[in-house]
Amino acid sequence: MAHPSAAYALPTHMRYIAMAAPGGPDVLALGETDVPILRDDELLIAVAAAGVNRPDIQQRKGAYPPPPGASPILGLEAAGHVAALGKNVTGWSLGDEVTALCNGGAYADYVAVPAAQCLPVPRGLSLIDAASLPETYFTVWANLFDLGRLAPGESVLVHGGSSGIGVTAIQLGAAFGATLYATAGSDEKCAACLDLGATAAINYHDEDFAAALQRVTHNSGVDVVLDMVGAPYMARNLQLLKRDGRLVQIAFMQGNIAKTLDLLPIMLKRLTITGSTMRPRSTAEKGAIAQSLHRVVWPWLEQGRVKPVVHEVVPAAAAAAAHRLMETSTHIGKIILDFTAR
């Protein structure tokens, strides 16, 4: 629902989550800075909520600098209301509810985002729910469906099934007509994966995931593996893939150098190894993903076929606590910063 435009008499300054220097969570604190200057193709969003993601942690540590031209402020996704329109922007009105994949800057009262990367809040969802969507939904669509070429009736192994990416991939893959398998690090997390639509979930602390999946699939393996662990899983991922299978790498939390790799299975089974990052993509590329999501996935959200999974909502002023929580890896789904809390 649109709010009256009078609600958006813009201030010159805003709150944001400042980072004194690269380091641990305690470098984060509330600060004040100028409201972003809007470019012609952008929306200015009055932020109600912002999602917390692994790249935020890496940027806080100094290991993931923003690309040229992006805001140095943390935060890659936000939801709120349209507070101003660039002169070339059409299709939006002041006060519209919006959720957006940001190039940076979401940890603030206001963020400027290319309009092509913005989507309406799905009917029936709160702004907190909507803030949990863009980063994982854009990432899963681009990697599982575009690069991974997932087709109905195929099978997928999702590593880190209880993460923000994992809960999204399980739900979208199942809604698309695929069979989903997952790995996770506790029985509670495995149960959550099953509740979201996975056929089987393997606790990797209790058993070797490759042996367990071969048993579950009667040694047939899977068509696609979506992996964020990296080098330690590479050989087993290739072992599990069927002929013409695809390994899609979206992160390497435990290392990016696979020192020994048998190339023979790649040739014999005609395997594809691919992967991508989202942040450096162009506005046009991100806009194309947004259109696909709006056409295919937004109706699923509005019908309840897939749903946001929010683990905890934290006041924005407690961003350090939100980062500490993410680093424990005990959460299931998304952690959200609430910018309406004062």
CA distance 299 to 301: 5
Q: Please give the model's pTM, rounded to 2 decimal places.
A: 0.94
131-158 pLDDT, tens per residue? 999 999 999 999 999 999 999 999 999 9
DSSP three-state, residue 193: helix
- Residue 122 is given by DSSP the state P
- CATH 3.90.180.10 placement within the chain: 5-133+293-338
pLDDT at position 6, please? 39
- Residue 108 is given by DSSP the state B
pLDDT at position 105, please? 98
pLDDT at position 288, please? 98
Domain 5-133+293-338 has CATH 3.10.20.90: no
The residues facing 241 across adjacent strands are: 222
For residue 152, give the amino acid letter: P
pLDDT at position 230, please? 84
State both tokens at 275. Answer: 């992967």
Instruction: Yes or no: say if 28 and 19 are a contact pair by the CB < 8 Å rule.
Output: yes
- Count Cβ neighbours within 10 Å for each residue of 180-208 and write b for 16 or more, e otherwise: bbbbbbbeebbbbbbebbbbbbbbbeeee
Give the gyration radius of the chain's Cα atoms: 20
DSSP three-state, residue 73: coil
Tell me which residues of the chain have a pLDDT lower than 70. 1-8
CATH superfamily of 137-275: NAD(P)-binding Rossmann-like Domain (3.40.50.720)
pLDDT at position 8, please? 59
Instruction: Say which residues have a Cβ less than 8 Å from residue 24's Cβ, sequence separation at least 6.
Output: none
Instruction: Yes or no: say if 169 and 225 are a contact pair by the CB < 8 Å rule.
Output: no
- Count Cβ neighbours within 10 Å for each residue of 233-270 and write b for 16 or more, e otherwise: bbebbbebbbeebbbbbbbbeeeeeeeeeeeeebeebe
* Angle of helix 187-195 versus helix 164-175 axis, rounded to 10: 30
